[in-house]
């Protein structure tokens, strides 16, 4: 049984398509087996995209950590054509989908990469993410430490995590490790954690 966070999913490919509808845009996204939420855009992802702030003109380097097939990355790219969007995922099938979804949506400002292919000195102005909670606490904490460490001074990040998947203990851990964390909203159990750099 594979996971959505496998580097090279072995699930037989079964291409499909889902529609993401938000107040300001509608986009069709190609999906497949072996990636996260292939049958519909995840509710947490939709809550994040509806409730977290839209990128501002001064935010020029944006990241979708764990991009999957690109619902967040494509939305950021459409909302902020002036910005460079980094879409990062360990799953090669997800990266391929994200790349073609960005192209199909007319976005030329998305760079899709594996975590190991990021520039070491990348400093980011904002992160919007539905993070891979199921990878386990140790890997998750490492992921947060490395990404929060890339935030520019005064930059912020928005993470959607369901309360049943440990959002409150994650928020406590983030706070205990020196970052400012607040709960921006909670909808249907999905908390959006706003975390700023230090
Ligand atoms: C909960 S899914 C969200 C996918 C997509 N953003 C969405 O909203 O549909 C989390 C994603 O994180 C990816 N992932 C797992 N470990 C990762 C890591 N260390 N760095 C980046 N992405 C990772 C998984 O492969 C998965 O696609």
Chunk the chain into consecutive blocks of 10 residues (it has 198) and report each block's average pLDDT, rounded to whole numbers.
84 95 98 97 98 97 98 98 98 98 98 97 98 95 97 96 96 96 97 92
Look at residue 43 and tell me if it is in a domain.
yes
**With a 6 A CB cut-off, is 66 part of the ligand 1 pocket?**
yes
Domain contains 6: no
Task: Tell me, yes or no, whether 45 lies in a domain.
Answer: yes
Q: Which residues does residue 26 pair with via DSSP β-bridges, in sequence order?
A: 21
What end-to-end distance do the CA atoms of the chain give, in Å?
A: 40
Distance 135 CA to ligand 1 centre (A): 9
C-alpha span between 134 and 166 (Å, rounded): 10
Q: Is residue 100 part of a domain?
A: yes
| Residue 110: φ, ψ to 5° | -115, 130
pLDDT tens figures, 2-22: 888 889 988 899 999 999 999
Examine residue 159 and state whether it is found in any structural domain, yes or no: yes
Give Cα separations from 105 to 73, 80, 101 (angstroms): 11, 13, 6
Residue among 2, 3, 5, 31 whose CB has most ligand 1 atoms within 8 A, to mutate = 5
Q: Tell me the CATH number at 127.
A: 3.40.50.150
Query: Which ligand 1 atom sits nearest the alpha carbon of residue 37?
Result: 9
In a domain, 56, yes or no: yes
Beta carbon of 132 within 6 Å of any ligand 1 atom:
yes
Range of the domain at 45: 16-196
Instruction: Provide the 8-state DSSP code for 11.
Output: S
**Ligand 1 centre from 69 Cα, in Å?**
9
What does the pLDDT look like over 185-198, one tens digit per residue?
Answer: 999 999 999 999 77
In the reported structure, the alpha carbon of residue 66 is separated from the centroid of ligand 1 by a whole-number distance in angstroms of: 3
Residue at 8 is within a domain:
no
Total of domains in the chain: 1
Is the CB of 90 within 6 Å of ligand 1?
yes
The number of beta carbons lying within 10 Å of the beta carbon of residue 34 is: 22
What is the Cα Rg of the chain in Å? 15
In a domain, 171, yes or no: yes
């Amino acid at each position: 049984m594979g996971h959505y966070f496998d580097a090279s999913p072995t699930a037989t490919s079964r291409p499909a398509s889902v529609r993401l509808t938000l107040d300001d845009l509608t986009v069709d996204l190609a999906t497949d087996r072996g990636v996260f939420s292939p049958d519909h855009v995840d509710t947490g992802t939709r809550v994040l995209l509806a409730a977290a702030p839209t990128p501002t003109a001064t935010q020029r380097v944006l990241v979708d950590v764990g991009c999957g097939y690109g619902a967040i990355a494509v939305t950021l790219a459409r909302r902020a054509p002036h910005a460079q969007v980094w879409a990062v995922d360990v799953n090669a099938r997800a990266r391929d989908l994200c790349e073609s979804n960005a192209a199909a949506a007319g976005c030329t400002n998305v760079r899709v990469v594996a975590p190991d292919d990021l520039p070491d000195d990348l400093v980011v102005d904002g992160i919007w993410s539905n993070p891979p909670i199921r990878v386990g606490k140790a890997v998750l904490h490492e992921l947060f430490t490395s990404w929060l460490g890339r935030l520019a001074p005064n930059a912020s990040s928005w993470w959607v995590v369901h309360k049943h998947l440990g959002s409150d203990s994650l928020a406590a851990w983030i706070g205990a490790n020196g970052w400012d964390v607040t709960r921006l909203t909670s909808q249907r159990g999905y908390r959006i954690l706003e975390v700023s750099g230090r």
